[in-house]
Structure 1
Amino acid sequence: MGLKKSLLLIVAVLLIDQISKIYIKTNFVLGESVEVFEWFKILFIENSGAAWGAKLSDFLPISEPTGKLVLTIFRLFAVAGIGYWLFDTIKKQTSKVLILAVSLIFAGALGNIIDSVFYGIVFNDSYQQVATAFSGEPYGGLFYGKVVDMLYFPLIDTTWPEWMPYFGGKDFRFFEPVFNIADMAISTGVGILIVFNKKAFGKDEDKNLEPLDNEAELPA
């Protein structure tokens, strides 16, 4: 997988991700949902923190705006690092599996960083209203945008039996997180690295073994 195919994949993921986010942002009120299937819903939420909605201010003695800024800056450095990793893997002509995985991770990370950096100055608030772009009343500032999430898969939505200790009568929902196309790209890329680890990183190992094989074939 070369540079052109990698770039095409990244652009495709970014387009699908940003088009879906902009559509949701400009057509849904925050918290609004549409049931596609019983196990799949479009649910508009905004994530101002890291994974699972966690915020730095929940763990560190800093204000929420400061935590948001630190997190966005960290994401920018992370995206730059992943971009360099991708460039390096293509330059060294490593395995196609590794290039595919890193391309997906980079596209997903870039998709979410666009929200974090720009959405705060592009859109107005979605609370009890449908947001509009460039309205003159942005909900935040540069680096203070919120990530738009909308894909919700409550595959199991039930209640624990009353006879069960502690959990009895409580709601049980699986799978509960709400995510977006960028998150899917990152998860898919990481999953490829985990499942196809040997194919992703095996090429370099094979190169390292080649001199030993050649030495073994030399006449005594």
Structure 2
Amino acid sequence: MKVAVLDINGKETGRQVELSDSIFAIEPNDHAVYLDVKQYLANKRQGTHKSKERAEITGSTRKLKKQKGTGTARAGSIKSPVFRGGGRIFGPRPRNYSFKLNKNLKRLARKSALSIQAKENNLVVIEDFTFEAPSTKKFVNILKAFELENKKSLFVLGESNNNVYLSSRNLKKAKSVNSSLLNTYEILNANKVVLFESTVEGIESNLSK
């Protein structure tokens, strides 16, 4: 599959890049995509939620009333969960939500995500560029050239391009990542995936192992 290489103004440069069908044109595996996205979101959870149970509540241990003869249920502690201000029954405790997936499945999920975006014409290849210094204004001008200022976009950088990364970091709907940090969730969450020309070979190398 051949794709035209565009410049930072959104114009064709006259060059084309060959995208491997084994990476960008496979039959998507929905279940692999689901598992990889689920793992990504689970790994981001802090898992620090905690509520106090009856043993952790501050309060008197005095028996509230006599055992029998009151006509109501017996009660031995103000910290019981049945009373207001008492402990919580089976409340949440700190836990780790992360889980593991094998590398082949994660690779399949990312290839599926890229194939979905390519099939829907949401994949763009742009010639490599950099800034002399971080400039959000210049990056916004590039977004405007591609009509992405109000859409979610993912720029996949080749080598460490710190100035471009810093220029996009303050923008809510634009994100820049290195090709080695590409993940299924961010690929599918973007309205447009913009690949630097130099990243194509690296992505194909990483996903064809």
Greater C-alpha Rg: 2
TM-score w.r.t. the length of structure 1 is: 0.22
- TM-score, normalised to structure 2, is 0.23
Q: Which has the higher helix share?
A: 1
